[in-house]
Amino acid sequence: MIKLKIGYFADGLWSHKALTMLLLDETIQLRFICARFDLPDPVLRAMALENGIDFLTNPKINSAEFIERMVGYNCDLFVSMSFNQIFRKELMNIPPLKTINCHAGKLPFYRGRNILNWVLINDEKEFGITVHYVDEGIDTGNIIQQSCYPITDADDYATLLERAYDGCAVNLYDAIKSIQANRARSIVQKDIHPFGFYCTTRKAGDEHLVWNQRSREVFNFVRALCRPGPEARTFCNDQEIKINKVIFLPDAPDYKGIPGAVVAVESNAFFVKTADSYIKVIDWSGSVRPRMGDRLT
């Protein structure tokens, strides 16, 4: 059987399980693994060495020099999983089966970055994983495969990450096999929605918690940024507090008050007024312990 020759552009935990699945498939040949240039993934490097696969990094993958090298690998398909450089037209069209990408978002919605944080902030009830062809836009190429996963109030950034790591591996592998079997779908994103939407990259400072929001919004914000994320931040008496987990109290009554005020304290928790009711903070860290009457900002 002629093997499907793949070039793998990848990084991090998103890419490890998928790579393991590809390596176990005797009908697939990994021609190279190209990692991020700034911080090359040591796990990918070790897997490449163990399996006799070329391990590459390059600061400019669209340069003439790199493209010439890519042509020499004679790949059938390029695969991108959590890679951080944009593929330009000449590079993405080198393989006869083109280039595909796995994206942890329900395209054409949730294009862009930090999708798992944004779906929680937006109180979504599911998140998607999409494998699509790479085109000249950002996450706009035709869809090959898409799966959706439920989100409950028990979920947070950490639980979604674990589910996404597995889901990305399975969906990417299944999409590659459908391409290999010449039965891949190609769904135009505009046929699903004419616009879709993009999410911006979250940056330092975006973790500041605004208490003048409804309790449900505070709950969603905190769980969206919990560890291994940066955690939500607030200040008490000019001292920063990191908040990792709060409990949403759906039966807490609405009432007028001052958002950010500490309205009650327990031995291992404290309650904070929000725009509508209040929430219970149960996991936090910092040099100050909030007291009754303190104002969080």
Domain segments of the chain: what residues? 4-199, 215-286
Q: Which CATH superfamily is domain 4-199 in?
A: Formyl transferase, N-terminal domain (3.40.50.170)
Model pLDDT for residues 213-238, shown as the tens digit of each residue: 999 999 999 999 999 999 999 999 99
Residue 264: pLDDT above 80? Answer: yes
Distance in angstroms (rounded) separating the CA atoms of residues 44 and 42: 5
Residue 1: pLDDT above 70? Answer: no
Distance in angstroms (rounded) separating the CA atoms of residues 106 and 116: 11
Distance in angstroms (rounded) separating the CA atoms of residues 198 and 186: 21
Residue 37, judged by CB atoms within 10 A of its CB (0-12, 13-18, 19+), counts as middle
Model pLDDT for residues 265-291, shown as the tens digit of each residue: 999 999 999 999 999 999 999 999 999
Distance in angstroms (rounded) separating the CA atoms of residues 151 and 104: 14
Fold equal for 4-199 and 215-286 = no
Model pLDDT for residues 5-19, shown as the tens digit of each residue: 999 999 999 999 999
Distance in angstroms (rounded) separating the CA atoms of residues 195 and 140: 10
Residue 98 Rama label (left phi>0; alpha psi -120 to 50; beta): left
Query: Cα–Cα distances in Å, from 185 out to 43, 134, 181?
Result: 32, 14, 11
pLDDT (0 to 100) of residue 2: 85
Q: For residues 154-164, give the mean pLDDT.
A: 98
What is 215-286's CATH number?
3.10.25.10
Residue with tokens 């911006």: 200
pLDDT (0 to 100) of residue 84: 94
Task: Please give the torsion angle defined by the CA atoms of residues 215, 220, 225 and 227, in that order, rounded to the nearest 10 degrees.
Answer: 90
